Chains A and B, each alone.
Chain A
Amino acid sequence: MSTTPHSSEILTLERDHIIDLASKGKRIDNRAPMDYREIKIQTGIIEKANGSAQVDIGQTKVIVGVKIEAGTPFPDTPNEGVQTVNAEFTPLAHPTFELGPPQENSIELSRIVDRNLRESKAIDLTKLSIIPGKKAFVVFIDLNMLDHYGNLIDTSTYAALSALLTSKMNEYEIKNDELIIKDNRQPLPMNDYPIPVTFAKIGKTLMLDPNIQEENAMSTRLTVGIDNEDCVCAMQKGGLGGFEPSEIESAVETAIQKSKEIRKLIMEATR
């Protein structure tokens, strides 16, 4: 059951101030409308995981761990590995996150990240089959929100990508129908991947990378994923408002430009 969320606890004065600034092309943290906050990427921080990364965008922090384990392939893709994404909105990340089964925001986020990777075949699942139809590697991508200060979608996806791009898995061989794990490590096979950018609609203005105050003041958000051939690979609108067709067209153009900058950052951090 999806229910209208309570309006955030933001003061009307603060919300009006943010909307007023937006109409003049300004933001409360003095950024330009299409500027991201500082993006920090750290990889390889959890040795027990096959791959890991923490991404900070401003004060938002998400840590992602990748575990690769042997499992069974899906019946309709017997020759492929499996990818599964789960997001945990841990209570320590924000006073409104509660214990319990995943709420709709957490499910939506994990599905957005999953689709971003899946449609583009970012993980080369065809190389993760062990015994066709019987055994395949499962790539578990677990997103942990640590601190929610706005734009969890982009932070989570960049962290997931960084973790995957630096993931290592053991080499293996099949001897007499048995899976034997060897000691040497190889990188997780990856293809090209899309980069999402998220816009917030504040009043009538679109801005990139909303911080938490801007998220509380916005009416709607739009995430656009662009791959390295400048193609649109993913889109998700969220929130209670809507976009005019022209706003969507212009968002796609901005996303094509912006994704290049972020792609460069991630490539450098995961070299």
Chain B
Amino acid sequence: MTILAQKKQLVIPGELVAKGEYDPDLNVYKDGENIYSTMIGLFESRGSRISVVPLKHCYFPFVDDIIIGKITDVGMSGWSVDINSPYSAMLPVTEFGARQNYPRRRETTQSLRVGDLVKAKIIAFDRSRDPLLSARDRELGKITRGRMIKITPSKIPRLIGKEGSMINMLKKESACSLSVGQNGIVLVTCNSPKNEEVVVELIKMIEHEAHTQGLTDRVSEVINRKLRGVKTGKA
């Protein structure tokens, strides 16, 4: 039993990362004794679980994921939603709005129109049907303002941080509202355009440097410099 790649090493498809009785987890596949990477990404192993965190991939829906999507079509029973995935999702009318005032069928367009953004939860998805959404819970529903940023879905956990540490820091320091979808969509709503630019820059920085050491410090440094206006002598 050997692990052949180092933690956070850049690996490519077909690269042999481990040999033996390991448990192939994400973005690797096992052929006999050999475990290979299937993607360009960073190698990770936790105990006997071997994974590769891809640098680029599309969003694959999972039940219970909170996503941000764009309405692409209005139908009789609900809306078609682009969730930044090869699978287009459905938001039924019955799953939108609080119980007291869910819209009646002919008023569908009055609540959500093509081009609107919505925050929703995936309540069903399997290989034989498209994802089904619900926007009934609190904090879900139509998004009325903000700027949409797309990042690689696998970087979302880093953006959120351990127990929300990173995202909360960004929110607090920028006084912006940040809404994050598991599907790689981030909504930034700021009162100050200048702060909005800084936040967008930070989000992109986190996406590109998610795998590196010392990211939190570098993010703090940018925050100090650009949001607090604190001049520091050293980076």
A–B in direct contact per CB < 8 Å: no
Binding site for B on A (CB under 8 A): none
